[in-house]
Every structure is written in structure tokens, then in C-alpha cells.
Structure 1
């Protein structure tokens, strides 16, 4: 069995030990490194290229926001999952725009953390319920772009983007469109490239900014998703 390599970036040793214990209770997860500050987290990410980094915000030397931004630039194949006690709006939006794949608060259970870790390792976006509300609020107040342009998306890419914006996982999108998961992943890769982003959340924010998506469309698709279940 191939294990998902995970790195921890957290300055409290006791917290790191607890997270490691939860994660390694799963046969398919393996913690390959631990960093106690932001600068070390960036260095270790370059050395280890983990599939997932679980990152705190408040760390010595380099905070989690800047560390996430640097890691996403240097290691685009690494997903950063934020695990923090802070839910300030400015932190949430800054981290998602920096490329974080998920944002959890430290009141989540070990089982929820494991589920989120596996989800972001597969290219999904995971948001704590209270964080999702903040993102929706931000989307509602998001301003139009300043005359910039992006490369046009194909009809199929727009379909994938709509479904991703509604929160469907890659497997669900594949089933909805009658294509393989690899095909969905390929479409998402092209969407990210055309929009100049590295994560689903960035893609949604950018698409809204350029008028490719509307919040009404997202909410409508989300309702339809609920009815399909």
C-alpha cells in the first residue's frame, strides 16, 4: 500500500505529537517530517516534497500565510491544509488566496482531521463550517476585476468549474459528466493554468472576479447537489 507522505508545521511539540498519532493510526498515511517554524517548513517542503502539509498560522520566523505562499510556489504538487485556532476573516482569505487547499480550526476531531487530510491529498478543498461562511461572505462582496483578462475556458472546463464551485469532489464530477477521474483532474489542471491559480478556491475566486461564475450559479448548483444525494 502506498502511503500519503505528510509533513507537520506546528511550533508546539505536544500538538505535533498528537497530530502524528492521529494520522499514523491510518494505514495509508505517513508523517515524513516535522517543522517547528515557518522557515524550516519551507526548507523541509523543498527537501521532502510531501503530498500534504498540515500548517499552523502563528509560527516563529515565518508565519503560516507566507510559508504557505512560498511552499505553493516552490512545490505546486503539495497541498497545504491549515489547522489553526484563528478564524479571522483576513487570515482566511489571505491563506486561501495564497493557495491553501483547506482551512480547519483546532476544535475538529481526530477523525475529521484524517478525513480532511485524505481529501486535500486527492485535490479536494476542505473548509471548516464557520470558515465556509466567511468565504461566502467574501464572494458576495468581491469586486470586479480592473480590466485584466484571462484565457477563455472551454464549455467542458466551465462545466467542471461550476461543479467544483458547488463543492463536488473529483469522483462526483466524473460521475456527473460521465468521464474518468483522470479526465476531471486534467480539466482542473487546464483551468488552473488558464486562470493563473493553484487551487480550487483560488480558481473560484478568480472566476467570480472575471465574471465567469456568479454566486447565484454556485448556490443553485449546490442546491441541486443536495437533491441528487
Structure 2
């Protein structure tokens, strides 16, 4: 059975364009396009979609406000923010409010499809410009470290954040619903990519980059 998608975007042409990406996809089907966020706040808890793509910039209620309203009502729905604007604070806020994905509307079709495919399996996905915005902080660490951080996957960023918050491997595995051995592998890969050999160094970088 195909997983269903609802798109919430006040720009109908944009919403229809995104919908077209999934026309022939074997695993997903767009079942509704909602052009008003307040209307979506009422309808989403009834529809209970597998995935909801939320435009960030909408009148009356923006995507983050909508996410805040419905996230707890829809524990089985995975949310993705769509936007023309990508900045560090907004990306972080979306993560904190439970968004599983964050994709710039400038992204290509493959980026949208990859995001939905990843999110559908419980993974987080951020388009390259969103990831770069999240990692960018020129006032703290050198460009070489920013380049290393940008090489981390969304999942590795997630693990790094939890390591910096002091969670054990077991606690991280429970938080992310992955095996402890998988957490250990992620930690090893992160340390190799960042070229550090101490957890304290990981924590320092995470703090400097504003991940915690």
C-alpha cells in the first residue's frame, strides 16, 4: 500500500508542481493539497497523512506554527518543511519542533523525492543548503571545520547533537530507534570525519556550531 502525502502550501502552482514529482512513484501518493494553513490545522488530524509537506511562509499561520499545533496530535505523521528561505535559526527551530525534513524550494526533483523516501523510514533529511545553514557559524570555528561538518549526514548530525547533550550510546539508540551498535558506528564515523579522538572535542564543536 502506498504511503499518502498531504501538501500544505498557499501557492497552488508550487503545490501542484511538487505533487507531480510523485505522480508515478511506486510508494507514495499525494492525496490532498491544502492551500490554507488554518484549514490544514483542522484537516490534518482527520486525514492523518503518513507525510505532510508544510510550506514555511503562509498567511495567518506559517509552517512552524502549524507544525506546533498538529505535531502532538499526529505522532505517526512525518513532517517536512518546504521554503524559499533557509537560515540557521529557522532550521534549528524546525528540528526542535519535530520536523523530520527541511527542503529548499530551490532543490531539484531528486532532492524532494529522496527527502520523502528517507523521512518515510523514520530518518531525517535536510537539503544541502539547509544543512550548510545549520552548520554555518563563521564567528566560532574555522572554515576547514565547517567543511568537515558539512560532510556529515543528517543522521550523523543528529547523533553528534545527542552525544554533545551527554546521552550514552544506549540512550541515543532509544532516542533514535536504532541499534546501539549502529550508534557506535556513527560515533566512530563522526570522529573520523571531524578528525578528533576525544568526546570532549565533539562536544566543543557541537556547542560552537550551536547544535546544543
After TM superposition, the score normalised by the length of structure 2 is: 0.67
Q: Is the Cα–Cα contact under 8 Å of residues 33 and 44 in structure 1 kept in the other structure?
A: no
Match of 1:41, SS state, is: helix
- Counterpart in the other structure of 1:5: 4
More deviation, 92-101/47-56: 92-101
**Alignment of structure 1 residues 57-68 onto 2, 5 Å:** 57-68=56-67
> Which residues of structure 1 form unaligned runs of 5+?
142-151, 165-169, 179-183, 185-212, 220-229
Cα distance between partner residues in 1 of 2:204 and 2:80: 23
Q: Is the 8 A contact 2:87 2:130 kept in 1?
A: no
Hey, what does 1:157 align to over in structure 2?
A: 171
- 1:1-229 equivalent positions in 2, closer than 5 A: 2-137=1-136, 155-158=169-172, 177=181, 216=202
Distance 1:91 1:61, change over 3 A: same
Q: CA 1:52/1:136 → structure 2, altered by over 3 Å: closer, same or farther?
A: same
Residue-by-residue CA offset, 1:5-51 (whole Å, 9 max, x unaligned): 10000111111111111112202111121111211222221111101
Question: Which consecutive aligned stretches of 4+ in structure 1 deviate over 6 angstroms post-superposition?
Answer: none
TM-score, with structure 1 as normaliser? 0.62
Q: 1:23 to 1:218 in 2, by over 3 A?
A: farther
Aligned residues: 165
Could you list the per-position Cα deviations for residues 96-137 of structure 1 after superposition, in whole angstroms to 9, with x for gaps in the alignment? 211111111011111221111111111110011222133235
Q: Residues of 1 paired with 2:3 and 2:124: CA distance?
A: 17
* Deviation, structure 1 residue 158: 3.5
